Structure 1
Amino acid sequence: MRLSRETSSEDEVSPRICPSSLDVDYKVVVGYALTPKKKKSFMQPKLEGLARNKGILFVAIDLSRPLADQGPFNVVLHKISGKEWFKIIEDYQRKHPEVAVVDPPDAIEHLHDRQSMLQDVADLNMHDCSATVGVPKQLVIREDSQSIPREVAEAGLCLPLVAKPLVVDGTSKSHELFLAYDQSSLVELEPPLVLQEFVNHGGILFKVYVIGDFVKVVRRFSLPNISRRELSKLTGVFPFPRVSSAASSAEDADLDPGVAELPPRPLLERLAKELRHRLGLQLFNIDLIREQVNRDMYFVIDINYFPGYGKLPGYEHMFTDFLLSASKSKEKTGTMGNKFKLCMQY
């Protein structure tokens, strides 16, 4: 084992994989490029330990070095923003078709616009299922906040309205949500944004996690119902917190059975499969609500790429099985051996 002084962009030892006839037998080598925040939440010791037991080795990609000089990899897992990185990963995809890149940059880019992301849901034909899936009535405002009341009236949207930034770029600002109760207060909102009609849904949101073929749903607390009487008294625009945090989990709460009941499993599996196909993505979650009055009507209100799987119980087993499957689907005879050793350089 050769040793030299090299540090990665994350100030840690950067392993280089070298074909070898030694005893370390890894079926799959996964190169990962994640933000520090994502790495901390996702790369848990339990995940890495289970991966090793299944013959999967995680290797941090050094962003300060050419990607072509690293590896070889069976799978490249990434969540890094920016045109420069996307160009690097697209070039790598072209030159290494035998490697499973999760996920394609152009497909990820599709989820950075809330208008385009939900259009894929609106185009789905889910009416022959046990329930109907759609999107709330919505309107895109790209500029001129003074025109919002007029455009809302012309579009026939009903108050209250949920306001979300149009662009999803991973910043905290892109997740700032507001609830607008009256027409005159709409001018306080800052375009570009998406306005969605608020749907009473019993204060519970279903987060549907998708990892390839695996689908897992959990409950999260959300905004409570708003009655007509309450709406007549409320005015203004108010911020409200994200409901994706583990602290908002409703899994162990004492809920009314009618509210707590999970969506039908066949519906979730078909929805996930259809969106995987349309989006061209393997890793995402769907924020789903059930209409309070018509319990056979569900609405997708957001789709998030490579969400916080670390908050999902048992994600380690699903993710490692997914990586094995992704690698197997890309296997080509003679592209890579299964025997590797870590040649540490530092």
Structure 2
Amino acid sequence: MRLNGEISSGEEEEEVVVVEKSEAGTTPFLGQNVVVGYALTAKKKKSFLQPNFIALARSKGIYFVAIDLSKPLQEQGPFDVVLHKLLGEEWREIIEDFRQKHPDVIVLDAPDAIQHLHNRQSMLQDVVDLNLSECNGKVGIPRQLVITKEKDPSTIPYEVTKAGLKLPLVAKPLVVDGSAKSHELFLAYDEFSLSELEPPLVLQEFVNHGGLLFKIYIVGESIKVVRRFSLPNISKHELSKVSGVYRFPRVSCAAASADDADLDPSIAEHPPRPLLERLAKELRHRLGLRLFNVDMIREYGTKDVFYVIDINYFPGYGKMPDYEHTFTDFLLSLVQNKYKKKLTA
């Protein structure tokens, strides 16, 4: 099952954990261990499978076993859960075939559902279709324009003018493929500089949001909110004096945490809980995913107007407070529910 170039030969060898059924630390409702097979890049493995998490999981009877990418997946296991985040059509076909042949194994998540988030146009469409007006707030997306690969960059200013988008604009690559380039973000202050950008991309109107972003982590039915510093507000005066396209850093890194900062309460207050619960429920259903996060901003000067600007599959949960307990509880609940269904069938 060697994937053509998907996992480079330079990555570390994965250690396969042999699970003995006689070991201590079994799930109280099953009386046996829960085996989670995982297929992750070396970077994701390091950030997610941290020692404290592994130790806590083992104490609850959960064991993580590396899937060997050099061998057929059908010959490995048995697994109770398969956790994966690899890119490429070959892996997508492998895991989909496995899902079809092993319906009793919980696969997190379906490859077609994950693929939906690899395009910034389709990922936000489900938010556009939501109506959360009765949930203490309003959620939408910034006005945006998709520039396809076929477009000549010199025509982008014309396309923006025709669409009626207001400057400044945030430019993001259209395809999210896990590469560093797919996360490069640019801020364009004038329409003429837009021709410097390389399609395919998405242009979003920049919404002043007080320099704060809310990362909403979804793990099954669990919701955790983390605040991150973001781009500062841009005034009309500043807009009239600045031109060009500027690359800005990602705001999802742990160093950008704003949870302990002394912030204006009108900016720092979390989105209403009923709104988050309804948003998470609707997106779980519409996206068909159980592991994702939502990047959300509050329009500056408002209390209840929010915009979703990105949705990411299987994000950096290692940066989420208490992720170890949240994730182990989630895995146990999945397997518990599966066995309850078997007993009642």
TM-score by length of 2: 0.91
Matched residues, number:
324
**Equivalent position of 2:180 in the other structure:** 172
Decide whether aligned partners of structure 1 residues 333 and 10 sit closer, same or farther in structure 2, where only a CA change above 3 A counts: farther
Decide whether aligned partners of structure 1 residues 13 and 174 sit closer, same or farther in structure 2, where only a CA change above 3 A counts: closer
**Equivalent position of 2:140 in the other structure:** 134
Decide whether aligned partners of structure 1 residues 292 and 12 sit closer, same or farther in structure 2, where only a CA change above 3 A counts: closer
RMSD, aligned α-carbons: 1.5
**Equivalent position of 2:171 in the other structure:** 163
Cα distance per residue 1:202-250 (max 9 Å; x no partner): 0000000000000000100000000111111110000000000000000
SS at match of 2:155: helix
Residues of 2 paired with 1:23 and 1:266: CA distance? 42
**Equivalent position of 2:7 in the other structure:** none
Residues of 1 paired with 2:160 and 2:268: CA distance? 33
Cα distance per residue 1:272-296 (max 9 Å; x no partner): 1110110000111000000013321
Report the AA paired with residue 216 of structure 2.
V
Instruction: Say yes or no: does 1:47 pair with 2:53.
Output: yes
Gaps of 5+ in 1: 1-8, 335-346
**Equivalent position of 2:214 in the other structure:** 206
**Equivalent position of 2:229 in the other structure:** 221
Bigger mean CA offset, 121-130 vs 162-171: 121-130
Instruction: Say yes or no: does 1:323 pair with 2:331.
Output: yes
* Misfit runs of 4+, over 2 Å: 9-18, 22-27, 328-334
Report the AA paired with residue 129 of structure 1.
C
State the 1:12 CA deviation: 4.6
Check the 8 A contact 2:17/2:64 in 1, yes or no: no
**Equivalent position of 1:102 in the other structure:** 108
State the 1:15 CA deviation: 3.6
Check the 8 A contact 1:16/1:71 in 2, yes or no: no
Residues of 2 paired with 1:223 and 1:236: CA distance? 16
Instruction: Say yes or no: does 1:11 pair with 2:19.
Output: no
Residues of 1 paired with 2:258 and 2:15: CA distance? 40
Instruction: Say yes or no: does 1:57 pair with 2:45.
Output: no
Q: What aligned pairs does 1:66-145 form with structure 2 within 5 A after superposition?
A: 66-142=72-148, 143-145=151-153
Please point out which of 218, 236, 253 is paired with 2:261.
Answer: 253
Cα distance per residue 1:181-215 (max 9 Å; x no partner): 01111111111000000000000000000000000
**Equivalent position of 1:294 in the other structure:** 302
Check the 8 A contact 2:14/2:66 in 1, yes or no: no
Gaps of 5+ in 2: 1-10, 27-31
Bigger mean CA offset, 253-262 vs 188-197: 253-262
Residues of 2 paired with 1:23 and 1:248: CA distance? 41
Residues of 2 paired with 1:273 and 1:218: CA distance? 19
Residues of 1 paired with 2:14 and 2:316: CA distance? 23
